[in-house]
Chain A
């Protein structure tokens, strides 16, 4: 196994295990302002990804991203399936069009973020996962090549999640609650942060 695919495998495993372990927390956040299934849905999706870990990491990176996306779409069972699925499908598509990691990380990540925005017909500021993904994309653009990029991504994601608490939701189930959605962290923003933090920790451990 190449160094790159070995690194990818450990990143993916860490991210999936983090989501699975955090299912109760995500569900409890979703019980406050959603329909209470974000944790179980994400767990089901990432268990399916984990089940294919060897096969996925043996694929070229673009195909691996697309397989992750398709697996999430087919197994999650809530709107987060198509949203996270679209992220990975679009990132995989970017990788198959002459983009490479780590050099084009911001471009590849940006393709994923745009796909989430299009799929959910949503923008940052509406109390969704985009409120983490968009600031992290900015950090990836401005911090590219900096030695502390991983630490910056970590703190950007952590701060961005907290900023969703005072927001009033205008998209998704939480928007039905109107002003009552204020005061709770968005579950999708939290799961995005958990995934990013797991990747950051895994990268740091390999340095």
Chain B
């Protein structure tokens, strides 16, 4: 089986992250690895760097991982999490500038076809184009 780019969903809300992951699995199927996390280290609204690192490792693929985030703190924490990964993995993870639900579904659809990390990111980010 050919490896496909993994998808990570990072929301301030665990419910949003889980719901988005459910949508991706229903619409795209199970050939793409999808991991999600949401909430601060106390379980309240927010994002947590260690949980993001875990999710990236869970969705790991030799083709890399695309991370979809909701608001600013999720983006900043995801960028920090990427930098804290082991060096061999760091360059194979991208944080996409895309809406979280649509971006996750589009990115996973593209990934399912065996596309590269750059292609998956580009497709997700088209959603943000003016």
In the complex, what residues of A have CB within 8 A of residue B49's CB?
A: 73-74, 81-82
In the complex, what residues of A have CB within 8 A of residue B80's CB?
A: 73, 81-82, 85-86, 119
- The reply to whether the CB of B73 lies closer than 8 angstroms to some CB of chain A is yes
Interface string of B22-45 (1 = CB under 8 A from A): 000000000000000001111011
Interface string of B68-86 (1 = CB under 8 A from A): 0001110011011000100
- The reply to whether the CB of A52 lies closer than 8 angstroms to some CB of chain B is no
Are A119 and B76 within 8 A (Cβ)?
yes
CA–CA, A49 to B71, complex, Å? 26
Are A77 and B46 within 8 A (Cβ)?
yes
Are A82 and B79 within 8 A (Cβ)?
yes
Are B84 and A78 within 8 A (Cβ)?
no
Are A78 and B46 within 8 A (Cβ)?
yes
Chain A interface mostly helix, strand, loop or mixed? Answer: helix
Give the interface size class of chain B. Answer: 10 to 19
In the complex, what residues of B have CB within 8 A of residue A82's CB?
A: 49, 76-77, 79-80
Are B72 and A75 within 8 A (Cβ)?
no
Are A173 and B41 within 8 A (Cβ)?
no
Are A79 and B40 within 8 A (Cβ)?
no
Are A173 and B72 within 8 A (Cβ)?
yes
Task: Please report which residues of chain A, range 84-140, place their CB below 8 angstroms from some CB of chain B when the two chains form the complex.
Answer: 85-86, 119-120
Could you tell me the distance in whole angstroms from the C-beta of A126 to the nearest C-beta in chain B?
13
CA–CA, A35 to B71, complex, Å? 11
- The reply to whether the CB of B48 lies closer than 8 angstroms to some CB of chain A is yes
Could you tell me the distance in whole angstroms from the C-beta of A186 to the nearest C-beta in chain B?
14
Residue in A40, A75, A79, A119 with the greatest tally of chain B CB atoms within 10 Å = A79
B residues with a Cβ closer than 8 A to A are 39-42, 44-50, 71-73, 76-77, 79-80, 84
> 9 new A-B pairs (CB below 8 Å) besides A78-B47, A81-B49?
A44-B42, A73-B80, A74-B50, A75-B41, A76-B40, A82-B76, A83-B76, A119-B76, A172-B72
A residues with a Cβ closer than 8 A to B are 35, 37, 40-41, 44, 73-79, 81-83, 85-86, 119-120, 172-173
